Amino acid sequence: MNSREITTQISKTANFLNLKKWDYGASFSNDYSVQVDKGEAKQLKASEKQILTIRVWNQSNLVGITTTSDISESGIKKALKQANIASDFGNKNESTEFSPLAKDPIKVKEIKKRNPVGIKKLLTLLREAEVKLIESHESIKSVPYNGLSESFFERVYANSEGAFRSYSKSQAALYLYARAEEKNKKPRSSGSVKLGYGADDIDIESCIKEASNKTISHLNYSSIKTDKYLICFSPESFLTIINAFSSMFNARSIIDGVSLSNKNSIGEKLSTEALNIYDDGLHEKNISSTPFDGEGTPTKRLCLINRGRIENFIHSESTARIFKTTPTGHAGLGSKVSVSPDWIVVEKSEENFDLKTSLDHSTYEGEFVYIEELNAIHAGVRASQGSFSLPFDGWLYKNGKKISIESATVAGDIKYLLKNIVNIESSQELTTSGISPHIWVDELSITGDA
């Protein structure tokens, strides 16, 4: 069944079961991926997936939900029945409704959907990339983590009041993580990830170059003394930390009591006035952009921090109603609707007079730690408490030299970090999770060899 036929089938079956109010979200995908090992194909994968999530409102306006991969007539009927049974246990304390924006026009940027290049070409491209990466430096012995994939998918939202949205797109991803070894030294590893609308859009050469340069740059390493340091966060690592603490801007987290913010935090000063942060799922550089969320609300650009102060929260339908505002396009369909950011954009505002602009990662000659990539986010972040303790890959810059740091962690509080931003560099860089300039923070704790 295609998405229109599914909508018709759900409508017909819901009528038969006397279910007046329903909505659904669905995704259909075809994925192809390859991995290689020293020139040989290791694993080749193809998958065809379909997932349907149906919500049903009962006569008391309580919601029940069911998710299934069975989109046959009988599967749809079973899902509607189960959702109806689940609605008996619907949340009486917080109601859920259709998004008031579920029928609003959506901004669909030019659809960049590519045709599949096929497994054989993916394999050829990845084999060539692996060979080039290994040949790029004598110390690079293998590329243990690698993969090239392409996905083609359609997402749908529809409800019993006639809302219907659908879009389809393609996406490809390449990751190369090299391992370098030198005599009497520990092995070192680093890598690169690149996305594109299709395999032919991926800049494979730059992925190889980046993986090689990063890996080689960690060959000469040393432990770091445990102390407080001036830190320069790479765009990628700063976006990682902002995403990890995005519950500060998340209305769902605020209602659930797991956010550092509260309902009255709009306007709260968190940082230097030079800092602006947006969530911009529709950004032209966001390859993973989606024009609507799980409730059918259009995606839009939203300012989260304006001149250092909290400007907006991200919302679903129900959180927006509780906060007396409109949904922002950040909902994920579920029994309890989740809220999450799309794509973070960090900018330097015009109010940037208090910044120490001499701090530039490419020219600054004083001592500082450059954090290239933060790891183990799921383990080292306590979002509800605001604290973090995270291992990282990076370098110590000292006396005009840079040396890779062996096995260290950076620890602190997100509010302390934001308040201690001392410079926001001018140039923004594109990453897979958003856009940000390099950000400098003073006096963060690093644990290395004590």
Tell me phi and psi for residue 189, to 5 degrees.
Answer: -140, 140
Judged by CB under 8 A, does residue 450 bind another protein?
A: yes
Beta-carbon count within 10 A of 404 CB: 20
Stretch that binds another protein, among 185-193, 278-286, 293-301, 417-425 (CB under 8 A): 185-193
Judged by CB under 8 A, does residue 400 bind another protein?
A: no
Grouping H, G, I as helix, E, B as strand and the rest as coil, residue 5 is helix
Cβ-based nearer residue to another protein, 100 or 187: 187
Cβ-based nearer residue to another protein, 48 or 284: 48
Question: Binding residues for another protein, how many (CB under 8 A)?
Answer: 81
CB of 180 to another protein, least distance (A): 10
Stretch that binds another protein, among 1-9, 105-113, 239-247, 354-362 (CB under 8 A): 1-9
CB of 253 to another protein, least distance (A): 11
Cβ-based nearer residue to another protein, 325 or 375: 375
Q: Which of 25, 294, 308, 386 binds another protein (CB under 8 A)?
A: 386
According to CB under 8 A, which residues from 411 to 440 bind another protein? 411-412
Residue 315 identity (one-letter amino acid):
H
Long-range contacts at 358-364 (CB < 8 A, ≥ 24 apart): 359/230, 359/232, 359/422, 359/423, 359/425, 359/440, 360/423, 360/425, 360/438, 361/232, 361/425, 361/438, 364/232, 364/397
Cβ atoms of 373 and 409 within 8 Å: the answer is no
Stretch that binds another protein, among 105-113, 156-164, 167-175, 383-391 (CB under 8 A): 383-391
CA separation for the pair 305, 68 (Å, rounded): 38
Q: Which of 15, 70, 107, 285 binds another protein (CB under 8 A)?
A: 70
Cβ atoms of 214 and 372 within 8 Å: the answer is yes
Judged by CB under 8 A, does residue 16 bind another protein?
A: no
Judged by CB under 8 A, does residue 44 bind another protein?
A: yes
| Alpha-carbon distance values, 433 to 34, 107, 238, 297 (Å) | 23, 21, 10, 21
CB of 42 to another protein, least distance (A): 7
Q: What share of the chain is helix, strand, coil (3-state, %, to 5)?
A: 20, 40, 35
Judged by CB under 8 A, does residue 369 bind another protein?
A: no
Q: Which of 117, 119, 303, 322 binds another protein (CB under 8 A)?
A: 119
Residue 380 identity (one-letter amino acid):
G
Q: Which of 376, 426, 427, 430 binds another protein (CB under 8 A)?
A: 376
CA separation for the pair 75, 290 (Å, rounded): 27
Encoded tokens for 440: 């400098």
Q: Which of 12, 112, 120, 356 binds another protein (CB under 8 A)?
A: 120
DSSP-derived letter for residue 115 is: P
In the numeric block, the tokens 């036929």 are attached to: 5
Cβ atoms of 266 and 312 within 8 Å: the answer is yes
CB of 209 to another protein, least distance (A): 19
According to CB under 8 A, which residues from 273 to 332 bind another protein? none
Judged by CB under 8 A, does residue 60 bind another protein?
A: no
Judged by CB under 8 A, does residue 82 bind another protein?
A: yes
According to CB under 8 A, which residues from 210 to 239 bind another protein? 226
Judged by CB under 8 A, does residue 141 bind another protein?
A: yes
Q: Which of 18, 40, 105, 267 binds another protein (CB under 8 A)?
A: 40
